[in-house]
Amino acid sequence: MILSSSFLAFSQKDGLYDWEAALKNLTKIRFRRADRFSLAVLCGAISCLEQNAAAKEFALYFGTSNGSVESVKNSQDNIFLQNQFPLPFTFINTLSSTPLFFLLQYLNAQTTAMSIAHSQFAFENALNLALIDLKQKRIKRALVGVCDIWYEPLAQACQILDHEAYEFSAWIFLQYNKRDQVRFFGEFSELFEFVKQFNKASFYISPNFPLDEYNKLKEVIQIRRNNVAKTITNYSAAIACSHFAAYKMPLFYIGYDDRGGYSFININ
């Protein structure tokens, strides 16, 4: 069950987002040596937690598709273009788990913190691990999020992506509900048979879902019109969860991995 959520996304059309300035509006603490990736994670996570006064005794589950690409690029430029060693903190910031250190330091907390990298199902995998720990009562609450940033020149980033680049940080704060679940399917036929039991529910569908399979799903389930993130494909699950939290209704979501995998999310 989602207790609170936050969603921050910015298009390349506006240039690289000033996460440091945004963070100053949330806290007076200055995070020295934190790169833009860590600042983006902090913005999203702190925005989510500040909505919930009972934000205690929880674990962190964080997913990313690209990690700290800006610090990685800077380190590679130091080594291969400038023939120099990267600065120590530049190298440390290349780790996708580094933002969690800054977040735990800010919260003054000692708790489980997990970082997951996945090209397209980063949020789903992080959420799945959180739900497993909640179900087994290892934790009382979970903060689950996903974040990605880009770098200059943006044209180079867009060329890699083959579509518009986004900087993005979305988080949900949740507690245990026995009906919450995340599932993964390797074949469409398996997904198709599974979702038949939810024929009265309304689903959100990933915007990159194959059209033929989309039309088959329409025969057995109701599909909501998805006005959110038509181009932010990798993060549509996180966006759906963070937006849908305000409606206080069960969320049903089906995602698609371009390599042929499928995901299913039900959050109540």
In this structure, the answer to whether residues 25 and 152 fall within a common structural domain is yes
Section 189-208 average pLDDT: 90
Burial class (CB in 10 A: 0-12, 13-18, 19+), 153: exposed
Q: Number of folded domains in the chain? A: 2
Comparing 120 with 25, which gets the higher pLDDT?
Answer: 25
Asked if 98 contacts 89 with a C-beta cutoff of 8 angstroms, the reply is no
Section 206-218 average pLDDT: 90
Section 34-50 average pLDDT: 94
What pLDDT is stored for residue 31 in this prediction? 92
Could you give the C-alpha distances from 216 to 166, 184, 185, 193, 223, in angstroms and in order? Answer: 31, 19, 16, 11, 11
* Whole-prediction pTM: 0.91
Residue 145 has pLDDT above 70, yes or no: yes
Which of 159, 175, 191 lies at the terminal end of a domain, its last residue? 175
Section 165-187 average pLDDT: 92
Question: Which residues constitute the domain of residue 236?
Answer: 181-267
Q: Of 133-147, 151-165, 198-212, 253-267, which range is least confident?
A: 151-165
Section 88-99 average pLDDT: 89
What pLDDT is stored for residue 128 in this prediction? 96
Asked if 264 contacts 191 with a C-beta cutoff of 8 angstroms, the reply is yes
CATH code, domain with 67? 3.40.47.10
